[in-house]
Structure 1
Amino acid sequence: MTLVCYQPTSPGAWQGRNDGNDPDLQRWHQRVQLADLSRAPLPPIPEGQKGIAFLGFACDEGVRRNGGRIGAAAGPEALRKACSSFPVHFGGQLLVDAGNIVCDGPQLEMAQDALSATVAHILQAGYLPVVLGGGHEVAFGHERGISSHFGKEVVGIINFDAHFDLREPGGEGVSSGTGFWQIAQERKQEGQPFHYLVLGIQQNSNTPRLFKTAAELGADFLPAGLFQQKYHDQLVGAIRSFIQRTDRIYLTTCLDVFASAYAPGVSATAYNGLVPDALFLDCFRTVLRTGKLAGVDFAELNPSLDIDNRTAKLAASLVFETVMNYFLRQGD
């Protein structure tokens, strides 16, 4: 495939603890295969196995345009490092690093186009794309790649986020805050439904206009205040009900949905964000275990603002959950 904005991953990106080479001692950095898509396609997946392809989105131009604090372009590198020493619990399944989409200066739209094409390529090869952001401008390119691959199938979007990201583009154009509005407009042009569920919305982070836009577009949302154990069944039930209306699910997690004690390394911190506890994991795993996953990404990791790698480690733990649940779920 012809690639722009693309860089293969450096061999030094995956390094970590080494307890030996026996299969029951291995860590992720010993198993991840590096793929340079500018030279060759992804390796074929052996019959009876599954494959996950990591793809970095080294971009924060959308955050800059949205008035945020830049630095998320370094997120993919930090996230790979945080994942490197995880133990291998998934047998002979394929874990591949497909490289990075890099935004050069203000070329956000070009980077999103490249992301879309690369995600579609990953899906065509039979892999689940797991995109490591990068600002939340990752959403528009990632979802477009999924939709282009699955054609007329109904793609539902589940977004763990404090923000709707349904802004209309301003003077500088599209940004990290416009992605889902852009997707909604494409759906309308194509005569397709817009299925969008946001989990963790904060009233103090969204204007009345954004709530109105969400209502006009038919978006569903569950506020951060609902993430209490007494509402467990209501939360999980709402997620399952949403999933039932779709053929495929695109899952995106903006790390600013979490309380700043757990995720200080983001552009817009929230003192009262979600706690990554058992309740959150039940909701997150409910999505992972649907059998409908078409793509997963993690956005807004800004290493320059992180404290003791807390945000990177939190994001890495969610990558681990994604890998384990996808590889070990039976009957997909």
Structure 2
Amino acid sequence: MAVDMHVWQGRTDPEDGAKGLRWHQKVQPADQANEQGIMILGFACDEGVSRNKGRTGAYDAPVAIRKVLANLAWHHQEPVYDGGDISCNDGNLELAQHRLGEDVCHALRQRHKVMVFGGGHEVAWGSFQGIGNYLLQKQHAVDSSDNGEPRKAPRIGIINFDAHFDLRNPPAGTQSQKGSSGTPFHQIARFCEMNNWPFRYACLGLSRTSNTQALYEKADALGVLYRDDEDMTQANLPDIQESLGQFIDQCDYLYLTIDLDVFPAATAPGVSAPAARGVSFDIIEPLLKTILAAKTPQGNSKILVFDMAEYNPRFDIDNQTARLAARLAWTVARNLR
């Protein structure tokens, strides 16, 4: 895949030497990935948003996020690589998700952590396909070994900051196999069911006005940990952190996904579905720190993949939402390795 590195441009401060560097001076193309680091992938797609009857424009998000991230100060140790974009230009969302899954799986096999810039939240099904295939391959390697260890189903914790469950069933009829930005976690649940894996899903920041009773009942049936936006306050923060910590402790790996529509419209105007209420950044940030602090017994971050969804440059104001997305990427990257 061709990688356009021209997007990585910004200010330079040569008088400050190595301590004056910014992201655009450090990010390398994926074909120069000679050591473990962080692999950035883009998912230029809003076909899922269109199918979900939302306002399109998220297709342009990966490049827009990179442009803002490029000028942020470099405070990291591990290398960062750009693996380019998967683009959905023909309406074939399923193929685009499959291709994203292949790239995510390949990066994980190369022992990179992965950050994916969407795109609509249909990116989640592509990201998880990559995680799932990577762990299936690891599982197969154990099954094929001679050590006689029993196969253990991986416990993947999905943590989604989002105003929506995105657990909808695909529409009935001829389109029954076609998902949208509203179906990715239903598709993930089906994947887990088919492979006899536990489905562990936490969704934080829900707008009850935007999720039907049917979705809440489905979430309860699936054992989803969730919190509505009105419950995510400073007073409730310790309780939420405790619940989230217990959830994380019961997981071997984490997949972190942030739908930017979880933030108030005043903070994130450039999204596919702006939030009338939302959750403030000062509530989400300490929860992110809890997630980012989670380590495996080997001392590595439990997070395999982090992605962001629903940034819509078409409706942004003064790059406000792009700056928020870049800040989130910067924060996660600093803690991933």
Q: Is this a same-fold pair by TM over 0.5?
A: yes
What percent identity do the matched residue pairs reach? 42
Q: Is residue 61–residue 117 contact of structure 2 (8 Å, CA) maintained in 1?
A: yes
Mapped pair 1:289 → 2:293: yes
The aligned residue for residue 260 of structure 1 is 265
Q: Which of 194, 199, 223 is the matching residue for 1:194? A: 199
Amino acid at match of 2:88: C
**Structure 1 residues 64-87: Cα deviation after superposition (integer angstroms, max 9, x where no partner):** 000000110100000000101111
Matches within 5 A, 1:62-101: 62-91=48-77, 93-101=78-86
Amino acid at match of 1:281: E
The aligned residue for residue 102 of structure 2 is 117
Deviation (angstroms), 1:10: 1.3
Mapped pair 1:17 → 2:11: yes
Deviation (angstroms), 1:33: 0.1
**2: CA distance, partners of 1:305 / 1:105:** 23
Q: Is residue 259–residue 272 contact of structure 1 (8 Å, CA) maintained in 2?
A: yes
**2: CA distance, partners of 1:205 / 1:105:** 29
Mapped pair 1:43 → 2:33: yes
**2: CA distance, partners of 1:206 / 1:241:** 25
Q: Is residue 262–residue 310 contact of structure 1 (8 Å, CA) maintained in 2?
A: yes
Deviation (angstroms), 1:9: 2.7
The aligned residue for residue 47 of structure 2 is 61
Q: Is residue 147–residue 155 contact of structure 1 (8 Å, CA) maintained in 2?
A: no
Deviation (angstroms), 1:8: 2.5
**2: CA distance, partners of 1:252 / 1:276:** 15
Q: Which of 21, 28, 31 is the matching residue for 1:33? A: 28
The aligned residue for residue 330 of structure 1 is none
Matches within 5 A, 1:174-193: 174-193=179-198
Instruction: Name stretches of at least 5 consecutive residues in structure 2 with no aligned partner.
Output: 137-152, 295-300
**2: CA distance, partners of 1:10 / 1:99:** 7
The aligned residue for residue 160 of structure 2 is 159
Task: Please report the RMSD computed on the Cα atoms of aligned residues, expressed in angstroms.
Answer: 1.3
Mapped pair 1:169 → 2:170: yes
**2: CA distance, partners of 1:308 / 1:33:** 28
Amino acid at match of 2:166: D
Secondary structure, aligned partner of 2:63: helix
Amino acid at match of 1:223: D
Amino acid at match of 2:125: F
The aligned residue for residue 217 of structure 2 is 212
TM-score (norm 1): 0.91
**2: CA distance, partners of 1:95 / 1:190:** 33
**2: CA distance, partners of 1:239 / 1:44:** 35
The aligned residue for residue 144 of structure 1 is 129
Deviation (angstroms), 1:127: 0.6
TM-score (norm 2): 0.89
**1: CA distance, partners of 2:272 / 2:84:** 24
The aligned residue for residue 2 of structure 2 is 8
Mapped pair 1:203 → 2:197: no
Amino acid at match of 1:126: R
Amino acid at match of 2:24: H
**Structure 1 residues 12-37: Cα deviation after superposition (integer angstroms, max 9, x where no partner):** 111111112721111000000012xx
**2: CA distance, partners of 1:148 / 1:228:** 37
**1: CA distance, partners of 2:186 / 2:330:** 30
**2: CA distance, partners of 1:318 / 1:180:** 22
Secondary structure, aligned partner of 2:54: coil
The aligned residue for residue 112 of structure 2 is 127
**1: CA distance, partners of 2:18 / 2:111:** 25
**2: CA distance, partners of 1:255 / 1:73:** 14
Deviation (angstroms), 1:265: 0.5
